[in-house]
Structure 1
Protein backbone atom coordinates (compact mmCIF):
# COMPACT_ATOMS: atom_id res chain seq x y z
CA UNK A 1 0.00 0.00 0.00
CA UNK A 2 1.20 3.50 -0.82
CA UNK A 3 1.39 6.09 1.92
CA UNK A 4 -0.66 8.45 -0.23
CA UNK A 5 -3.35 7.70 -2.78
CA UNK A 6 -2.44 8.32 -6.40
CA UNK A 7 -4.71 8.56 -9.43
CA UNK A 8 -3.49 7.23 -12.77
CA UNK A 9 -4.25 9.69 -15.54
CA UNK A 10 -6.74 8.40 -18.14
CA UNK A 11 -6.51 9.21 -21.85
CA UNK A 12 -6.41 12.93 -22.66
CA UNK A 13 -9.73 13.03 -24.48
CA UNK A 14 -11.57 11.94 -21.34
CA UNK A 15 -10.02 14.74 -19.31
CA UNK A 16 -9.96 17.58 -21.80
CA UNK A 17 -13.02 17.31 -24.00
CA UNK A 18 -15.66 18.02 -21.34
CA UNK A 19 -13.82 21.33 -20.88
CA UNK A 20 -13.74 21.92 -24.62
CA UNK A 21 -17.53 21.54 -24.70
CA UNK A 22 -17.82 24.34 -22.12
CA UNK A 23 -15.19 26.64 -23.62
CA UNK A 24 -16.52 26.57 -27.19
CA UNK A 25 -19.80 28.36 -27.86
CA UNK A 26 -19.40 30.21 -31.16
CA UNK A 27 -17.43 30.03 -34.43
CA UNK A 28 -15.52 33.00 -32.97
CA UNK A 29 -14.02 30.61 -30.39
CA UNK A 30 -12.47 28.54 -33.18
CA UNK A 31 -9.96 27.30 -34.02
CA UNK A 32 -8.88 26.11 -30.60
CA UNK A 33 -5.38 24.59 -30.62
CA UNK A 34 -4.10 23.10 -27.39
CA UNK A 35 -0.56 21.85 -26.80
CA UNK A 36 0.68 20.00 -23.74
CA UNK A 37 3.62 18.01 -22.38
CA UNK A 38 2.66 15.16 -20.08
CA UNK A 39 3.24 11.56 -19.06
CA UNK A 40 1.07 8.64 -20.13
CA UNK A 41 0.47 5.32 -18.35
CA UNK A 42 -0.73 2.35 -20.41
CA UNK A 43 -1.21 -1.20 -19.18
CA UNK A 44 -2.93 -2.85 -22.13
CA UNK A 45 0.09 -4.89 -23.29
CA UNK A 46 2.20 -7.65 -21.72
CA UNK A 47 5.72 -7.22 -23.07
CA UNK A 48 7.13 -3.70 -22.61
CA UNK A 49 10.36 -2.79 -24.41
CA UNK A 50 12.51 -0.01 -22.89
CA UNK A 51 11.99 3.33 -24.67
CA UNK A 52 10.12 1.72 -27.58
CA UNK A 53 7.01 0.45 -25.79
CA UNK A 54 6.96 1.53 -22.16
CA UNK A 55 4.12 1.29 -19.70
CA UNK A 56 4.81 4.96 -18.93
CA UNK A 57 6.26 7.50 -21.34
CA UNK A 58 6.46 11.23 -21.95
CA UNK A 59 5.12 13.01 -24.99
CA UNK A 60 4.21 16.29 -26.59
CA UNK A 61 0.56 16.17 -27.56
CA UNK A 62 -1.67 18.48 -29.58
CA UNK A 63 -5.47 18.74 -29.71
CA UNK A 64 -7.20 21.10 -32.10
CA UNK A 65 -10.80 22.01 -32.85
CA UNK A 66 -12.07 23.56 -36.10
CA UNK A 67 -15.36 24.72 -37.55
CA UNK A 68 -15.05 22.78 -40.82
CA UNK A 69 -13.64 19.52 -42.11
CA UNK A 70 -11.56 21.37 -44.74
CA UNK A 71 -9.89 23.59 -42.15
CA UNK A 72 -9.18 20.61 -39.89
CA UNK A 73 -7.67 18.60 -42.74
CA UNK A 74 -5.45 21.52 -43.76
CA UNK A 75 -3.63 21.22 -40.45
CA UNK A 76 -2.31 17.75 -41.28
CA UNK A 77 0.55 18.78 -43.54
CA UNK A 78 1.66 21.58 -41.21
CA UNK A 79 2.01 19.19 -38.28
CA UNK A 80 3.58 16.36 -40.27
CA UNK A 81 6.10 18.83 -41.75
CA UNK A 82 7.13 19.86 -38.23
CA UNK A 83 7.59 16.23 -37.25
CA UNK A 84 9.53 15.48 -40.44
CA UNK A 85 11.87 18.41 -39.82
CA UNK A 86 12.46 17.22 -36.24
CA UNK A 87 13.09 13.65 -37.41
CA UNK A 88 15.55 14.60 -40.14
CA UNK A 89 17.35 17.64 -38.74
CA UNK A 90 17.56 16.77 -35.03
CA UNK A 91 17.37 12.97 -34.88
CA UNK A 92 19.03 12.38 -38.29
CA UNK A 93 16.55 9.62 -39.12
CA UNK A 94 14.61 8.66 -42.22
CA UNK A 95 11.05 7.45 -41.84
CA UNK A 96 8.28 6.40 -44.19
CA UNK A 97 5.31 8.77 -44.04
CA UNK A 98 1.85 7.54 -44.93
CA UNK A 99 -1.72 6.74 -43.98
CA UNK A 100 -2.46 3.83 -41.67
CA UNK A 101 -4.95 1.17 -42.65
CA UNK A 102 -8.41 1.31 -41.13
CA UNK A 103 -7.53 -1.61 -38.87
CA UNK A 104 -4.46 0.24 -37.53
CA UNK A 105 -5.81 3.77 -37.23
CA UNK A 106 -6.48 5.54 -33.94
CA UNK A 107 -9.63 4.26 -32.26
CA UNK A 108 -12.28 6.92 -32.64
CA UNK A 109 -10.52 8.65 -35.50
CA UNK A 110 -11.43 8.83 -39.17
CA UNK A 111 -7.84 8.64 -40.44
CA UNK A 112 -4.32 8.28 -39.00
CA UNK A 113 -1.09 9.41 -40.67
CA UNK A 114 2.25 8.35 -39.22
CA UNK A 115 5.98 7.92 -39.69
CA UNK A 116 7.26 4.34 -39.63
CA UNK A 117 10.89 3.40 -38.93
CA UNK A 118 12.92 0.30 -39.68
CA UNK A 119 15.05 -0.93 -36.77
CA UNK A 120 18.36 -2.84 -37.09
CA UNK A 121 16.63 -6.12 -36.12
CA UNK A 122 14.38 -5.85 -39.16
CA UNK A 123 11.28 -4.84 -37.20
CA UNK A 124 9.40 -1.61 -37.73
CA UNK A 125 8.11 0.85 -35.16
CA UNK A 126 5.63 3.70 -35.39
CA UNK A 127 6.81 7.24 -34.72
CA UNK A 128 4.96 10.58 -34.58
CA UNK A 129 1.40 10.51 -35.81
CA UNK A 130 -1.55 12.71 -36.73
CA UNK A 131 -5.20 11.71 -36.33
CA UNK A 132 -8.12 13.38 -38.03
CA UNK A 133 -11.04 12.60 -35.74
CA UNK A 134 -13.82 14.22 -37.77
CA UNK A 135 -16.84 14.84 -35.53
CA UNK A 136 -16.59 11.54 -33.63
CA UNK A 137 -15.35 12.96 -30.32
CA UNK A 138 -17.38 16.14 -30.73
CA UNK A 139 -20.54 14.03 -30.81
CA UNK A 140 -19.39 11.91 -27.87
CA UNK A 141 -18.52 14.94 -25.69
CA UNK A 142 -21.05 17.43 -27.10
CA UNK A 143 -18.48 19.86 -28.51
CA UNK A 144 -20.70 22.19 -30.50
CA UNK A 145 -20.70 25.80 -31.72
CA UNK A 146 -23.03 28.30 -33.37
CA UNK A 147 -21.91 28.97 -36.95
CA UNK A 148 -22.09 32.33 -38.72
CA UNK A 149 -25.74 31.66 -39.60
CA UNK A 150 -26.61 31.01 -35.96
CA UNK A 151 -27.01 27.27 -36.51
CA UNK A 152 -25.64 24.69 -34.10
CA UNK A 153 -22.93 22.35 -35.44
CA UNK A 154 -20.57 19.71 -34.12
CA UNK A 155 -16.91 20.69 -34.35
CA UNK A 156 -14.12 18.87 -36.23
CA UNK A 157 -11.03 17.72 -34.34
CA UNK A 158 -7.45 16.55 -34.76
CA UNK A 159 -4.97 14.99 -32.36
CA UNK A 160 -1.23 14.45 -32.83
CA UNK A 161 1.79 13.51 -30.75
CA UNK A 162 5.55 12.95 -30.60
CA UNK A 163 6.86 10.79 -27.74
CA UNK A 164 10.08 9.66 -26.06
CA UNK A 165 9.83 6.54 -28.24
CA UNK A 166 11.79 8.53 -30.81
CA UNK A 167 14.78 8.52 -28.45
CA UNK A 168 14.62 4.73 -28.47
CA UNK A 169 14.51 4.71 -32.29
CA UNK A 170 17.47 7.08 -32.44
CA UNK A 171 19.51 4.96 -30.00
CA UNK A 172 18.71 1.76 -31.89
CA UNK A 173 19.45 3.13 -35.35
CA UNK A 174 22.57 5.18 -34.61
CA UNK A 175 24.11 3.32 -31.65
CA UNK A 176 26.86 0.70 -31.81
CA UNK A 177 28.68 -1.68 -29.46
CA UNK A 178 30.57 1.23 -27.89
CA UNK A 179 27.40 3.07 -26.85
CA UNK A 180 25.29 5.97 -28.08
CA UNK A 181 25.81 8.05 -31.20
CA UNK A 182 23.95 11.32 -30.64
CA UNK A 183 23.36 13.62 -33.65
CA UNK A 184 25.06 17.05 -33.34
CA UNK A 185 21.80 18.99 -33.24
CA UNK A 186 20.58 17.04 -30.21
CA UNK A 187 23.84 16.46 -28.33
CA UNK A 188 24.35 18.25 -25.03
CA UNK A 189 28.02 18.62 -25.98
CA UNK A 190 28.88 18.61 -29.68
CA UNK A 191 32.63 18.61 -29.09
CA UNK A 192 34.61 17.09 -26.24
CA UNK A 193 38.24 18.19 -25.82
CA UNK A 194 40.57 15.83 -23.97
CA UNK A 195 44.05 17.14 -23.09
CA UNK A 196 46.77 14.52 -22.67
CA UNK A 197 49.55 15.70 -20.38
CA UNK A 198 52.02 14.87 -17.63
CA UNK A 199 53.54 16.95 -14.88
CA UNK A 200 56.21 18.28 -17.22
CA UNK A 201 53.97 19.54 -20.04
CA UNK A 202 50.71 20.09 -18.18
CA UNK A 203 50.72 23.88 -18.31
CA UNK A 204 51.36 24.33 -22.03
CA UNK A 205 48.98 21.51 -23.08
CA UNK A 206 46.16 22.93 -20.94
CA UNK A 207 46.78 26.47 -22.19
CA UNK A 208 46.59 25.29 -25.80
CA UNK A 209 43.48 23.24 -25.02
CA UNK A 210 41.82 26.29 -23.48
CA UNK A 211 42.67 28.31 -26.56
CA UNK A 212 41.01 25.75 -28.83
CA UNK A 213 38.00 25.59 -26.48
CA UNK A 214 37.54 29.35 -26.61
CA UNK A 215 37.75 29.38 -30.42
CA UNK A 216 35.05 26.73 -30.72
CA UNK A 217 32.67 27.97 -28.04
CA UNK A 218 31.19 30.65 -30.28
CA UNK A 219 29.91 28.04 -32.76
CA UNK A 220 29.51 24.78 -30.85
CA UNK A 221 28.62 23.33 -27.46
CA UNK A 222 32.08 22.40 -26.16
CA UNK A 223 33.32 20.73 -22.98
CA UNK A 224 36.97 20.62 -21.91
CA UNK A 225 37.51 17.45 -19.87
CA UNK A 226 40.62 18.39 -17.91
CA UNK A 227 39.88 16.09 -14.95
CA UNK A 228 43.09 14.63 -13.60
CA UNK A 229 41.60 11.71 -11.66
CA UNK A 230 40.79 9.83 -14.89
CA UNK A 231 43.16 8.58 -17.58
CA UNK A 232 42.80 9.71 -21.23
CA UNK A 233 41.78 6.16 -22.21
CA UNK A 234 39.02 6.12 -19.62
CA UNK A 235 37.76 9.48 -20.90
CA UNK A 236 37.78 8.23 -24.51
CA UNK A 237 35.59 5.28 -23.58
CA UNK A 238 33.33 7.37 -21.36
CA UNK A 239 32.56 9.98 -24.01
CA UNK A 240 32.19 7.36 -26.73
CA UNK A 241 29.60 5.66 -24.51
CA UNK A 242 27.72 8.97 -24.19
CA UNK A 243 27.82 9.52 -27.94
CA UNK A 244 29.42 12.98 -28.22
CA UNK A 245 29.74 13.62 -31.99
CA UNK A 246 33.34 14.86 -32.09
CA UNK A 247 36.36 14.29 -29.84
CA UNK A 248 39.47 16.44 -29.96
CA UNK A 249 42.68 14.99 -28.52
CA UNK A 250 45.43 17.43 -27.60
CA UNK A 251 48.81 16.23 -26.38
CA UNK A 252 52.33 17.61 -26.43
CA UNK A 253 52.78 16.85 -30.15
CA UNK A 254 49.61 18.71 -31.09
CA UNK A 255 50.56 21.62 -28.86
CA UNK A 256 54.08 22.01 -30.24
CA UNK A 257 52.94 21.71 -33.87
CA UNK A 258 49.71 23.73 -33.46
CA UNK A 259 47.67 20.70 -34.48
CA UNK A 260 44.49 19.04 -33.29
CA UNK A 261 43.52 15.37 -33.56
CA UNK A 262 39.84 14.89 -34.39
CA UNK A 263 37.92 11.66 -33.82
CA UNK A 264 34.40 11.28 -35.20
CA UNK A 265 31.99 9.27 -33.06
CA UNK A 266 29.94 7.88 -35.94
CA UNK A 267 32.84 6.11 -37.70
CA UNK A 268 35.72 6.56 -35.17
CA UNK A 269 38.01 7.87 -37.93
CA UNK A 270 40.91 10.08 -36.88
CA UNK A 271 42.04 13.22 -38.64
CA UNK A 272 44.90 15.61 -37.83
CA UNK A 273 44.53 19.25 -38.80
CA UNK A 274 46.73 22.28 -38.32
CA UNK A 275 45.09 24.95 -36.21
CA UNK A 276 44.46 27.38 -39.11
CA UNK A 277 42.83 24.69 -41.22
CA UNK A 278 40.83 23.52 -38.24
CA UNK A 279 39.38 27.01 -37.75
CA UNK A 280 37.95 26.87 -41.29
CA UNK A 281 36.83 23.21 -41.04
Structure 2
Protein backbone atom coordinates (compact mmCIF):
# COMPACT_ATOMS: atom_id res chain seq x y z
CA UNK A 1 0.00 0.00 0.00
CA UNK A 2 1.20 3.53 -0.68
CA UNK A 3 1.48 5.97 2.16
CA UNK A 4 0.21 9.51 1.92
CA UNK A 5 2.94 11.54 0.25
CA UNK A 6 3.38 13.98 -2.63
CA UNK A 7 3.46 12.72 -6.21
CA UNK A 8 6.91 11.83 -7.45
CA UNK A 9 8.71 14.10 -9.88
CA UNK A 10 8.29 11.35 -12.47
CA UNK A 11 4.49 11.70 -12.33
CA UNK A 12 2.79 13.86 -14.94
CA UNK A 13 0.23 16.47 -14.09
CA UNK A 14 -2.94 14.62 -13.25
CA UNK A 15 -5.22 16.63 -15.55
CA UNK A 16 -4.80 18.23 -18.97
CA UNK A 17 -6.91 20.99 -20.49
CA UNK A 18 -6.63 21.28 -24.27
CA UNK A 19 -7.82 24.33 -26.20
CA UNK A 20 -9.29 26.23 -23.24
CA UNK A 21 -10.28 29.11 -25.50
CA UNK A 22 -12.09 26.95 -28.07
CA UNK A 23 -14.88 28.69 -29.99
CA UNK A 24 -17.33 25.79 -29.75
CA UNK A 25 -20.02 25.75 -27.06
CA UNK A 26 -19.07 22.12 -26.45
CA UNK A 27 -16.77 21.28 -23.55
CA UNK A 28 -15.66 17.65 -23.70
CA UNK A 29 -14.48 15.60 -20.75
CA UNK A 30 -12.66 12.28 -20.80
CA UNK A 31 -12.89 11.00 -17.25
CA UNK A 32 -11.07 7.69 -17.83
CA UNK A 33 -8.56 8.83 -20.44
CA UNK A 34 -5.39 7.17 -19.14
CA UNK A 35 -4.15 3.91 -17.65
CA UNK A 36 -1.01 5.57 -16.26
CA UNK A 37 0.08 4.63 -12.74
CA UNK A 38 2.69 6.95 -11.19
CA UNK A 39 5.77 5.14 -9.86
CA UNK A 40 4.71 5.41 -6.24
CA UNK A 41 1.74 3.13 -6.98
CA UNK A 42 3.73 0.41 -8.72
CA UNK A 43 1.15 -1.76 -10.48
CA UNK A 44 -1.20 -1.81 -7.46
CA UNK A 45 -0.37 -5.51 -7.25
CA UNK A 46 -1.65 -6.32 -10.74
CA UNK A 47 0.15 -8.07 -13.58
CA UNK A 48 1.29 -5.46 -16.10
CA UNK A 49 -1.03 -6.79 -18.82
CA UNK A 50 -4.06 -6.08 -16.62
CA UNK A 51 -3.39 -2.35 -17.01
CA UNK A 52 -4.43 -2.47 -20.67
CA UNK A 53 -7.92 -3.66 -19.71
CA UNK A 54 -11.03 -1.55 -19.17
CA UNK A 55 -10.56 -1.85 -15.41
CA UNK A 56 -7.70 0.67 -15.74
CA UNK A 57 -9.17 3.13 -18.27
CA UNK A 58 -11.57 3.56 -21.21
CA UNK A 59 -9.58 2.26 -24.21
CA UNK A 60 -9.95 4.42 -27.31
CA UNK A 61 -12.01 7.14 -25.65
CA UNK A 62 -9.29 9.76 -25.47
CA UNK A 63 -8.28 9.31 -29.10
CA UNK A 64 -11.89 9.90 -30.16
CA UNK A 65 -12.33 12.85 -27.79
CA UNK A 66 -9.16 14.54 -29.03
CA UNK A 67 -10.24 14.23 -32.66
CA UNK A 68 -13.68 15.61 -31.81
CA UNK A 69 -12.22 18.53 -29.87
CA UNK A 70 -9.89 19.44 -32.72
CA UNK A 71 -12.59 19.23 -35.38
CA UNK A 72 -15.13 21.21 -33.34
CA UNK A 73 -12.63 23.71 -31.89
CA UNK A 74 -13.88 22.54 -28.49
CA UNK A 75 -12.22 22.46 -25.09
CA UNK A 76 -11.22 19.04 -23.75
CA UNK A 77 -10.52 18.21 -20.10
CA UNK A 78 -8.90 14.80 -19.56
CA UNK A 79 -7.62 12.78 -16.65
CA UNK A 80 -4.00 11.59 -16.87
CA UNK A 81 -4.11 9.01 -14.07
CA UNK A 82 -5.70 5.54 -14.14
CA UNK A 83 -9.16 5.07 -12.72
CA UNK A 84 -7.56 2.36 -10.57
CA UNK A 85 -5.98 5.13 -8.47
CA UNK A 86 -9.30 6.93 -8.12
CA UNK A 87 -12.38 7.16 -10.34
CA UNK A 88 -12.95 10.82 -11.08
CA UNK A 89 -16.43 10.07 -12.40
CA UNK A 90 -17.84 8.94 -9.07
CA UNK A 91 -19.20 10.81 -6.05
CA UNK A 92 -16.74 10.97 -3.18
CA UNK A 93 -18.97 8.67 -1.11
CA UNK A 94 -19.35 6.05 -3.87
CA UNK A 95 -18.25 2.51 -2.95
CA UNK A 96 -16.34 2.27 -6.24
CA UNK A 97 -14.51 5.59 -5.91
CA UNK A 98 -11.39 3.49 -5.25
CA UNK A 99 -12.27 -0.06 -6.23
CA UNK A 100 -10.87 -3.02 -4.33
CA UNK A 101 -12.58 -5.22 -6.95
CA UNK A 102 -13.13 -3.98 -10.51
CA UNK A 103 -15.42 -6.15 -12.62
CA UNK A 104 -14.18 -9.52 -11.28
CA UNK A 105 -10.55 -8.53 -10.65
CA UNK A 106 -9.19 -7.85 -7.17
CA UNK A 107 -6.95 -4.77 -6.99
CA UNK A 108 -4.52 -5.65 -4.17
CA UNK A 109 -3.17 -2.11 -3.84
CA UNK A 110 -6.67 -0.79 -3.19
CA UNK A 111 -7.58 -3.22 -0.42
CA UNK A 112 -7.89 -1.84 3.12
CA UNK A 113 -6.69 1.65 2.30
CA UNK A 114 -6.36 3.99 5.26
CA UNK A 115 -8.45 7.15 5.44
CA UNK A 116 -5.22 9.11 5.03
CA UNK A 117 -4.32 7.30 1.80
CA UNK A 118 -7.82 7.77 0.39
CA UNK A 119 -7.71 11.49 1.20
CA UNK A 120 -4.32 11.80 -0.49
CA UNK A 121 -5.62 10.20 -3.67
CA UNK A 122 -8.55 12.62 -3.70
CA UNK A 123 -6.17 15.57 -3.40
CA UNK A 124 -3.71 14.08 -5.90
CA UNK A 125 -5.97 13.28 -8.85
CA UNK A 126 -9.68 13.83 -8.14
CA UNK A 127 -9.65 17.42 -6.95
CA UNK A 128 -7.41 18.75 -9.76
CA UNK A 129 -9.63 17.19 -12.44
CA UNK A 130 -12.81 18.71 -11.08
CA UNK A 131 -11.12 22.03 -10.33
CA UNK A 132 -10.00 22.22 -13.97
CA UNK A 133 -13.57 21.69 -15.21
CA UNK A 134 -14.84 24.29 -12.74
CA UNK A 135 -12.26 26.78 -13.98
CA UNK A 136 -13.17 26.21 -17.63
CA UNK A 137 -16.89 26.62 -17.02
CA UNK A 138 -16.53 29.60 -14.69
CA UNK A 139 -14.37 31.45 -17.20
CA UNK A 140 -16.82 30.75 -20.01
CA UNK A 141 -19.80 31.89 -17.95
CA UNK A 142 -17.97 35.03 -16.83
CA UNK A 143 -17.54 35.97 -20.49
CA UNK A 144 -21.14 35.05 -21.37
CA UNK A 145 -20.29 32.00 -23.48
CA UNK A 146 -22.65 29.07 -23.88
CA UNK A 147 -21.42 25.78 -22.48
CA UNK A 148 -22.69 22.30 -23.31
CA UNK A 149 -20.98 19.40 -21.55
CA UNK A 150 -20.30 16.09 -23.30
CA UNK A 151 -18.41 13.24 -21.61
CA UNK A 152 -16.70 10.67 -23.86
CA UNK A 153 -16.30 7.09 -22.57
CA UNK A 154 -15.95 3.54 -23.85
CA UNK A 155 -17.33 0.22 -22.62
CA UNK A 156 -16.50 -3.47 -22.87
CA UNK A 157 -18.28 -5.64 -25.50
CA UNK A 158 -18.85 -8.29 -22.82
CA UNK A 159 -19.37 -7.61 -19.12
CA UNK A 160 -19.29 -10.48 -16.62
CA UNK A 161 -20.06 -12.92 -19.42
CA UNK A 162 -23.00 -10.95 -20.86
CA UNK A 163 -22.62 -9.61 -24.43
CA UNK A 164 -23.57 -6.00 -25.04
CA UNK A 165 -25.18 -5.47 -28.45
CA UNK A 166 -24.98 -1.67 -28.61
CA UNK A 167 -22.19 -0.07 -30.61
CA UNK A 168 -22.82 3.24 -28.88
CA UNK A 169 -24.90 4.43 -25.99
CA UNK A 170 -26.12 7.89 -25.03
CA UNK A 171 -26.59 8.43 -21.32
CA UNK A 172 -28.76 11.23 -19.95
CA UNK A 173 -30.98 12.26 -17.07
CA UNK A 174 -34.16 14.36 -17.28
CA UNK A 175 -32.42 16.92 -19.50
CA UNK A 176 -32.56 15.61 -23.07
CA UNK A 177 -31.71 18.86 -24.87
CA UNK A 178 -28.45 17.34 -26.16
CA UNK A 179 -29.19 13.65 -25.78
CA UNK A 180 -32.41 13.60 -27.83
CA UNK A 181 -30.92 14.99 -31.07
CA UNK A 182 -27.82 12.84 -30.62
CA UNK A 183 -29.95 9.71 -30.24
CA UNK A 184 -32.20 10.63 -33.18
CA UNK A 185 -29.24 11.28 -35.47
CA UNK A 186 -27.49 8.05 -34.48
CA UNK A 187 -30.67 6.00 -34.89
CA UNK A 188 -31.08 7.38 -38.40
CA UNK A 189 -27.91 5.48 -39.38
CA UNK A 190 -29.18 2.18 -40.71
CA UNK A 191 -27.85 -0.88 -38.91
CA UNK A 192 -26.39 1.04 -35.97
CA UNK A 193 -27.32 -0.38 -32.55
CA UNK A 194 -27.85 2.63 -30.25
CA UNK A 195 -28.43 2.25 -26.54
CA UNK A 196 -30.43 4.81 -24.58
CA UNK A 197 -29.18 4.79 -21.00
CA UNK A 198 -27.40 1.58 -21.98
CA UNK A 199 -25.07 -0.01 -21.04
CA UNK A 200 -25.26 2.36 -18.06
CA UNK A 201 -27.66 4.94 -16.71
CA UNK A 202 -27.31 7.77 -14.19
CA UNK A 203 -28.64 5.33 -11.57
CA UNK A 204 -25.30 3.50 -11.89
CA UNK A 205 -23.45 6.60 -10.58
CA UNK A 206 -21.70 7.06 -13.94
CA UNK A 207 -23.15 10.55 -14.50
CA UNK A 208 -21.31 12.25 -11.67
CA UNK A 209 -19.06 14.62 -13.62
CA UNK A 210 -21.91 15.90 -15.76
CA UNK A 211 -24.34 16.08 -12.87
CA UNK A 212 -21.92 17.91 -10.59
CA UNK A 213 -20.63 20.46 -13.07
CA UNK A 214 -23.51 20.79 -15.51
CA UNK A 215 -26.87 20.03 -14.02
CA UNK A 216 -26.52 22.29 -11.00
CA UNK A 217 -25.81 25.12 -13.47
CA UNK A 218 -28.64 24.00 -15.78
CA UNK A 219 -26.21 23.36 -18.62
CA UNK A 220 -27.14 20.86 -21.35
CA UNK A 221 -25.28 17.56 -20.80
CA UNK A 222 -24.91 14.18 -22.46
CA UNK A 223 -22.62 11.19 -22.04
CA UNK A 224 -21.31 9.20 -25.01
CA UNK A 225 -20.33 5.55 -24.49
CA UNK A 226 -18.68 3.78 -27.45
CA UNK A 227 -18.08 0.02 -27.39
CA UNK A 228 -14.33 -0.24 -27.16
CA UNK A 229 -13.85 -2.89 -29.87
CA UNK A 230 -15.19 -0.24 -32.27
CA UNK A 231 -12.38 2.18 -31.38
CA UNK A 232 -9.46 -0.16 -30.71
CA UNK A 233 -7.56 1.15 -33.74
CA UNK A 234 -7.00 4.41 -35.57
CA UNK A 235 -9.49 3.64 -38.34
CA UNK A 236 -12.36 3.12 -35.92
CA UNK A 237 -11.35 6.12 -33.84
CA UNK A 238 -11.38 8.36 -36.91
CA UNK A 239 -14.69 6.93 -38.10
CA UNK A 240 -16.50 7.45 -34.81
CA UNK A 241 -14.97 10.87 -34.19
CA UNK A 242 -16.01 11.91 -37.68
CA UNK A 243 -19.57 10.64 -37.25
CA UNK A 244 -20.05 12.27 -33.85
CA UNK A 245 -18.47 15.52 -34.99
CA UNK A 246 -20.77 15.73 -38.00
CA UNK A 247 -23.81 15.13 -35.79
CA UNK A 248 -22.74 17.66 -33.20
CA UNK A 249 -22.21 20.30 -35.88
CA UNK A 250 -25.78 19.75 -37.05
CA UNK A 251 -27.38 19.75 -33.60
CA UNK A 252 -25.44 22.83 -32.47
CA UNK A 253 -27.92 25.34 -33.95
CA UNK A 254 -30.83 23.24 -32.65
CA UNK A 255 -29.38 23.30 -29.15
CA UNK A 256 -28.67 27.02 -29.39
CA UNK A 257 -32.37 27.65 -29.99
CA UNK A 258 -33.45 25.45 -27.08
CA UNK A 259 -33.72 26.76 -23.56
CA UNK A 260 -30.56 26.04 -21.62
CA UNK A 261 -31.22 23.26 -19.15
CA UNK A 262 -34.62 22.47 -20.64
CA UNK A 263 -36.17 19.36 -19.18
CA UNK A 264 -37.32 16.99 -21.89
CA UNK A 265 -39.63 14.03 -21.98
CA UNK A 266 -38.01 10.69 -21.18
CA UNK A 267 -37.32 8.69 -24.30
CA UNK A 268 -38.21 5.09 -25.06
CA UNK A 269 -35.82 2.66 -23.40
CA UNK A 270 -34.95 4.89 -20.47
CA UNK A 271 -34.45 3.35 -17.06
TM bracket (short chain)? under 0.3
Larger radius of gyration: 1
Greater fraction strand = 1
Greater RCO, 1 or 2 (C-alpha within 8 Å, sep 6+): 2
TM-score (norm. length: structure 1):
0.25
